[in-house]
Chains A and B, each alone.
Chain A
Amino acid sequence: MRIELVKRPQQSALFSILSPFLALALTLAAGAVMFFLLGKNPVTALYYFFVDPLLEVWSLHELAVKAAPLILIAVGLSVCFLSKNWNIGAEGQFIIGAVAGSILPVVFPGLQSWIVLPLMLLMGIAGGAAYAAIPAVLKARFNTNEILTSLMLVYVAQLFLDWLVRGPWRNPEGFNFPETRNFHAYAVLPEILPASGRAHWGFVFAMVAALVLWFVLSRTLKGFEVKVIGQSPRAGRFAGFSSGRMVIFAFLVSGALAGLAGISEVSGAIGQLRPSISPGYGFTAIIVAFLGRLNPLGIIAAGLVLALSYLGGEAAQISIGVSDKVARAFQGMLLFFVLACDTLIHYRIRLVRTARMDAKGAQAGHA
C-alpha cells in the first residue's frame, strides 16, 4: 500500500474553496491535542481560545483592531506573492511607515490642525513604500534574493525604532520611559463607534484596500499582468510585461499598505511610538495572505481568523493559564496545514495497492 499524489488535469475548484476550511479543522484538531498534552481540557481551552472572544461587543472591537493591520498588510502581500515576489519584510515596512507617519506629532507637536492626520497617513504610506523599495530595487537591479534582504531590513527597522524612542524621540516629560510623547488630538485616528469600543478607521481602510485590490486583481489588465508574471515569467515577457517593473510595483504596493497599517496602528490603537509596536503583524500577515488564497476577499476572512488567534491567546492566558505563545503555535500550525491542504488543489490522493495489476481478471474478461 502506498499513497500517490496524482496531478489533476485542472485545478480543483472544490478544493480551492475547501482547502482553507480543511486547514482550519486540522489546526483545531492539532490544537486540541496540544492542549491535552499541556494538561488542559481541550474543549474548554478551545472554547476560551476561539469562542469566548466573540461573545462581547468590546471584544469584537478588539478583533477589528487586530484584524485591520493584518488585512491591510496581507492584501498588499497578495500582490507580491501572486507575482512571485517574496516580500518577507512587511514587519519592517509597517514599522518604518509608523515612524514616518509619526514625524509630525512627535517632532512638530506644535502643528495642530485637521491637516495633520491626512499628512501622517500619507507619510506613513510613503515611508512603508520607500522602505519596501530598497529590496525591490536591489532585486530588479542586482538580482539579489528579496527574501533575505527584505527580512534583514525588518531587524534594521526594529532597532531603528528602538533607538528613536530611547534617544532623540523620547518624551521629554516621560520620566525616561522609552516612549515618544502621546499624540495630540489632531493626530489620533478616530474610532468608528466611540460609544461601543476601540475599533478605529484602520479597519475601514483595510476593507477599502481589500475591495479595491480585489477589483484590480480580478478585473483589470494590471491584475492580469501580476498573475501572468507570477505564473509564467516567460509568457509574461512574450506578452510584453516587464518583470523588473513588476518587482517594483509589487513591493511599492505592499510596502505602502504595510506603512498605512503601521501609522494606523500607532495613531489609532497605541497613540505613541514605543520600542515594540507590533506583535508580529507583518509576519502573521504572510499566513493571512496564504490562508486567504491570495484573494483579497478571502484575506478579509483570514485576517479575522488570525486576529482571533491573537485575542484567543490573551484570553487563554487569563482564563486557563497557558502562555500566550500558544497563539504563535496556532498560527504556525495554521500556515503549515494551509500549505499542505493546498496540495489537494493541484493533486488528488490515490491509494495504490502494491499488488500486481489484475491481469487474471482482465484475461477472464477478455476470454
Chain B
Amino acid sequence: MPTTLENRASALLEVRGLTKLFGTLKACDGIDLTIGRGEIHALLGENGAGKSTFVKMLFGALEPAAGTIRWKGEEVSITSPGEARRLGIGMVFQHFSLFDALTAAENIMLSLDDSAPPGAVAARARELSQAYGLPLDPHAHVGDLSVGERQRIEIIRTLLQNPDLVILDEPTSVLTPQEADRLFKTLETLKAEGRSILYISHRLEEVKRICDKATVLRQGRVVAHCDPGQETAASLARMMVGDEVQPVVREKPGPAGETLLEVRGLSRKAAHPFAVTLHDISLAVQAGEVLGIAGVAGNGQSEFFEAVSGEVLQERADTVRIRGRDAGRLDISGRRLMGAAFVPEERLGHAAAPAMTLSQNLLLSRYRTDARAFLSRFGFIRTPALAAAARRIVAAMDVRKSGEDPEANALSGGNLQKFVIGRELDRAPMVMVVNQPTWGVDAGAAARIRQALIDLAKAGSAVLVISQDLDELFEICDAIAVMHHGRLSAPMPIAQATYEKVGLLMGGAAPEAASEPVLEAV
C-alpha cells in the first residue's frame, strides 16, 4: 500500500512485533511502535510493563526473540550498545552508569568510540552543556556531584554522539520544576533540530505537556497508541494500570497535635569529601501531620536522613527529640524503640540486603522493636513468625513477587519499595521518616504508598517525607520545607505553597515572604 510505504519513508524508527522472553515470561509481547522524525514519543507503563526491556532491545543491550526494527527505512539488528550509538540511538538511563572516582569528562570519554584527547572532550562537553542549558563542570569528580548533575553528564554524553533518537528514562525524577522546564526546552531544541525523543515517564502531566505521541504498555503488550494532548492524566493512568488509579485522599489538616518529632539546630560536618555539610536545621512534626522536605538530590537529604535516623549520632542528646524525649545520643535501634521508623532512599543495599529473602529483610529493621515476636531466648530466630509477618505485609501492600519468600533483588523496584514501606507501617510507628518514598516507582504503587503515609498521619502519627518529587509532596503534605546546600527553609503551609515558590527555594533563591534569611547566598 502506498500509504504504508510513505509512512515507512518518513518514520525514523519502526518497530514491529518485538518480543522478548525471559524463561516463560513474555516481558515484551509483539510490540509495535513508530517514531517519526522530530517527534517526542512517550512510552508509558507501570513497572514491569516491559518498558525497560523494550528500550534495552532498541539500545542493543538485549537481543529480541522475534520482531523487526526498521531504522530510517532499513531493517537493522542492533546487537550492542555500540551498534546502537553508531546508528544514532542514544540513551540516558534512569540508573546512571558512571564511575564515581573519574571526572565527568573521563566518564564521557569512556562511552566514546573514538579516542579523542581529554581536553577536547571536556571542551566539547562544556560547549554542549551551555548550548543545551545543562550546566556542568567537566572536571568535577562524579562522586562529588548530585544526582541531577550526574544526569546531565549522561545527557551530555549521549548528545556528544549526535544521535537522531534519544531515549530518556524517567529524566525529570531528579530535577526541580525549573530544571525540568529547562530540560523541556532542551528537548524542544533537540526536536527543532529534527531529532526524535523516546520519553519514558510516569509523570502524566509532563507527558501531556511535551509529548506528541504516546505508546502505553501493560504486561508486555501495547494497549494503546494515542495523542497525549487529547487524553487526560486520568485516562492515561487508566490505560497504564488497566484500572482506575485510586486518587490519593487527603483530609483538611486538623488542629495541631502534640509534637512527635523535633530537630533542633542540627549541624553536621561533611563526613567525607563527597558529603554535604548540614547547617542548623530545625523542624517539628506534629501528630497527624505530614511534613515534606523538598529539594534537589544532593543538597544534604541523605546526610539529614542519617542524622535523624540515628545511623549517625548527634553530639547533643536534645538535637533530635522523639515523642518529647531526647534521642540524639541513641542509635537507630534506640530510636526505633521510641516508636520511630525509617525508610532510606536506596532500596537495595540500604533498606534491604539484596541477597536476603523478604522475611530476613523484615528482621533487618525490626529485630529490636519486635524482639518478642521474632526472637526467642538466646536470640534464636522464629522463622514461622517472620514468614507470617512477611506474608501479612505482602498482602497489605499488594507486593507482587514470584515464589514464597524471594530474595529482595528478585523484586521489581516498586514492589520492593512497597515491601520496605509496609515493613515499617506494619509496626504502626508514631514517627515515620521516609526518604524518596516513590523514586522510580510506578503510578499504581506510588499512589498506594502515598495513601498509606497519609493514613498513617491520619491515625495520629507524625510523618516526615523527604522527596524530590514535588507532585508527590503537594499531594500528601500539610506543609513543605525546602533543603538547599544543607540548610532547611521554614516550612510553608500547603495552602500557601506553590510550585513556583518551592521551585525557587530548591534553586537556592531566598524566599520573598520569609521573615528571616534562611538561605545563604552561595
Contact = CB atoms under 8 A, between A and B. Distances in A.
B79 A238 contact: no
Give the dominant DSSP class at B's interface: mixed
B349 A240 contact: no
Contact of B67 (A222, A234, A236, A366): A366
A234 B349 contact: yes
A239 B367 contact: yes
B354 A232 contact: yes
B17 interface: yes
A10 B408 CA distance: 10
A228 B350 CA distance: 11
B511 to A, nearest CB: 34
Contact of B353 (A228, A356, A362, A363): A228
A9 B407 CA distance: 9
Interface stretch (B200-208, B235-243, B374-382, B387-395): B374-382
A11 B310 CA distance: 33
Interface stretch (B249-257, B291-299, B355-363, B513-521): B355-363
A356 B60 CA distance: 12
A235 B346 CA distance: 10
Nearest to A242: B331
A217 to B, nearest CB: 11
A148 B136 CA distance: 41
A219 B381 contact: yes
Interface string B152-189: 00000000000000000000000000000000000000
Interface residues of B, number: 44
Contacts, number: 93
A356 B77 CA distance: 7
A312 B410 CA distance: 44
Contacts of A361: 66
A235 B66 contact: no
A357 interface: yes
What range describes how many residues of A lie at the interface? Answer: 20 to 34
A325 interface: no
A235 B353 CA distance: 6
Given A221-B379, A357-B63, A235 B16 contact: no
Contacts of B311: 237-238
Contact of A366 (B17, B309, B375, B381): B17
Contacts of A10: 406-407, 410
Contact of B351 (A238, A357, A362): A238
Interface in A212-226: 219-222, 224
Contact of A359 (B77, B309, B342, B363): B77
17 contacts: A10-B410, A11-B355, A220-B379, A221-B379, A227-B353, A231-B354, A232-B354, A234-B350, A235-B353, A235-B364, A236-B353, A238-B365, A356-B77, A361-B66, A362-B66, A362-B67, A366-B68
**5 tightest A-B contacts by CB?**
A240-B333, A221-B379, A362-B66, A232-B353, A235-B353
Given A219-B380, A235-B350, A359-B68, 10 more contacts: A11-B355, A221-B375, A224-B363, A232-B350, A236-B353, A238-B351, A239-B365, A359-B77, A362-B66, A366-B16
